[in-house]
Amino acid sequence: MSRNFFSEILAQKREAVARMKARTSSDRLRESALEIRKTAVRYRLSRALKSESPRLKIIAEFKRRSPSAGIIRDDLSPEEVALRYERGGACAISVLTDEIHFGGSIADLRAVRSSTNLPVLCKDFIIDPIQIYEAAIAGADAVLLIVAGLDDGSLGELRQIAEDQLGVAALVEVHTSLELRRALNAGARIIGVNNRNLQTFQVSLETSERLIAEAPQDRIMVSESGLQSAKSLQRLRERGFHAFLIGETLMRASDPEKALRDLISRRDVLAK
């Protein structure tokens, strides 16, 4: 029987959040987050993804390792990767902050935030408002909400806290038709379609191709995981995707900046 990575991750995330809440006041973090967001630009990721620029929009990810692939990259700092991604043409930067399974931290997010003017997405397994407050304080412009890990009440509450209270965009991630409907019912404006099965970690781009046909045209659609070629990006863009979240392909490249730039330029050639 294959391991259910997602269930393992969620179980350990609940324990980590419980420890965090035991040592930190959620109300105090909320007050700090609200204060910081008073002067912050609201919905920066949404604006970047909706811009009229014809260039391919790639959310480039800083990712140290994964449960399925092990160590991906350990010789570049988050600051250096952020600079390379910005020079390479990324429209935003995603930072994997889960520590136990992905080797990340909220410190990685702060480091990226201090190194770039691009919108920054906090990518983690968010199950409690305290994680959103922490991300906002660290400088996140957006947070990931995974439908598969949340009931309808929690999903709606977390989206409302992020977007309506803090002006932090919520990238709401789905993998099935049912999850897409749940995301829409929760008011999701940016929907990420994860091509990776969260139970087995196997990848299929057919997930994006299937779900884009079911999504309303007024939502911002992002394809995630398993994106490696300009041809596949072009095909998915023609089907309606606005942007693409790419991590492992770029992190494994000898020169992430060049790999990103080449991916964008090759897609532009294909589109002509």
Residues identified as active-site: 61, 63, 123, 173, 194, 224-225
Specify the amino acid at residue 36. Answer: I
Q: Enumerate residues 6+ apart whose C-beta is below 8 A from 177.
A: 210, 211, 214
Closest CA to 207 of 229, 219, 191, 230: 191
CA distances (Å), 187 to each of 50, 82, 156, 163, 242, in order?
A: 17, 31, 7, 10, 18
Are 21 and 127 spatial neighbours (Cβ–Cβ below 8 Å)?
no
Are 78 and 62 spatial neighbours (Cβ–Cβ below 8 Å)?
yes
Are 147 and 134 spatial neighbours (Cβ–Cβ below 8 Å)?
no
Six token digits for residue 10: 């969620």
Q: Enumerate residues 6+ apart whose C-beta is below 8 A from 86.
A: 93, 116, 117, 118
Closest CA to 120 of 102, 106, 130, 131: 106
* Cα atoms in the 13 Å half-sphere on the side-chain side of 69: 20
Six token digits for residue 188: 């999701």
